[in-house]
Amino acid sequence: MERLTTPAEDGFYFPAEFAPIDQVWLAWPERSDNWRDGAKPAQQTFARIANAIASVTPVRVAVSAQQWVNARAQLDEKVELVEMAYNDAWMRDIGPTVLVDGKGQRRGVSWRFNAWGGEFNGLYADWLADDQVAAKVCQHIGIEHYQAPFVLEGGSIHSDGEGTLYTTEECLLSPGRNPQLSKAQLEQHLADYLGIRKVIWLPNGLYNDETDGHVDNILHVIAPGKVVLSWTDDPNDPQYSLSRLAEQALKAQTDAMGRTIEIIRLPLPGPLYYSEQEASGVDASQGMVRDAGERLSASYANFLIVNQHVFLPLLDDKVDQQAVAILQSALPSYTIVGIPAREVLLGGGNIHCISQQIPAPYVLAK
């Protein structure tokens, strides 16, 4: 059922990813104009990721009727399949952002979705099915939802669960999202629909990110007042200046609780690029660039936190273990689960982008 009030009015807020998680949702990839070789390599990787998460918390995977048998054969028997229509498999962006009220209740938010830019620079022309996924997921879980009156994707926001929201100007202020809204109006919408008190804006996301710079590819909130930031020390890398601008923005302000933000630099893999073989396996399309030699928007920050576990994409043999070590040092009580994830990267994102956590309906201690 759709609510006609706002979450903030009703006392709901966006919890952190490191808060207790009840379940995780993914969607099964099949678009041949995004996933190479008929999506078969991507499906194997998605299955590996879903099965790994399922060892920690219940996993549900949206799947088309045509792919049901194939998905069932590759996914662990613990993973529940849910037949559903969608246009592509980015559950972070098409699924609901689920809020809690600290009293044991949950409600979802369905954002308007327009394929990362609509007619201005969207990645595909038909996104109608995607735009209906969030409400369907909420219905399946058995929670009410709010329909937000503006365009947003789940990958463009990170929360510390204590009133602070992190995002990028590059994405939320891009002409393809909400050109009718000012920055101040957007901040008010974010406060209304996420129950947050302060927005921390980074100027840009990761270099060459076709989502117009989603925050989840450059930064991840790992504890209150503590973030990891994608980083390179190569002055010839176009990401060099972007990461430094992001760090300056984070250092220039405090979070909603007045804390100085602790920044942990997380090295980038690569640089990584599409190979001839990888690019040739994708059906040509107007919106998505999949050319040999194209820079991949690769990042270790695009991980998923689930109940004291970090599901981390492994992308570069030369850097993987350094990234694992940095995260293990920053999160000593967490289990770091590395999963080879280049096939997800080839589609334009990574483990965080293809997953959407549903928080547990916990009650705040008095």
The full set of domains in the chain, from first to last, is: 7-264+353-359 (3.75.10.10)
CB atoms within 10 A of CB 248: 11
Q: What is the mean pLDDT of residues 44-68?
A: 98
Number of residues that make up the chain: 366
**In the predicted model, is pLDDT for residue 1 greater than 90?**
no
Strands 145-151 and 356-359: unpaired
The 10s digit of each residue's pLDDT in 4-16 is 899 999 999 999 9
Question: Cis (ω within 30 of 0) for the bond into 271?
Answer: yes
Q: What is the mean pLDDT of residues 260-288?
A: 91
**In the predicted model, is pLDDT for residue 288 greater than 80?**
no
Say whether 138 is catalytic: no
Distance CA 92, CA 311 (A): 15
Annotated catalytic residue within 190, 326, 353, 358: 353
What does the pLDDT read at residue 366?
A: 55
What does the pLDDT read at residue 153?
A: 98
Distance CA 16, CA 223 (A): 8
CB atoms within 10 A of CB 65: 9
Distance CA 63, CA 228 (A): 33
The most distant pair of C-alpha atoms in the chain lies apart, rounded to whole Å, by 58
- Minimal CA–CA distance to 137: which of 178, 171, 92, 104? 92
SS (H, E, C) 54-121: HCCCCEEEEECHHHHHHHHHHCCCCCEEEECCCCCCCHHHHCCEEEECCECCEEEEEEECCCCCHHHH
- pTM for the whole thing? 0.97
- B/e letters for 26-41, b = 16+ CB within 10 Å, e = fewer, are bbbbbbebbbbeebbb
The 10s digit of each residue's pLDDT in 345-354 is 999 999 999 9
CB-based burial of residue 179 (10 Å sphere; 0-12 exposed, 13-18 middle, 19+ buried)?
A: exposed
Strands laid side by side in the 164-168 sheet: 158-159, 164-168, 198-202
What does the pLDDT read at residue 362?
A: 83
**In the predicted model, is pLDDT for residue 286 greater than 80?**
no
- Identify whether the C-beta of residue 89 lies closer than 8 Å to the C-beta of residue 46: yes
DSSP secondary structure of 208-248: T-TTT--GGGTEEEEETTEEEEEE---TTSTHHHHHHHHHH
**In the predicted model, is pLDDT for residue 287 greater than 80?**
no
Strands 309-314 and 304-306: antiparallel
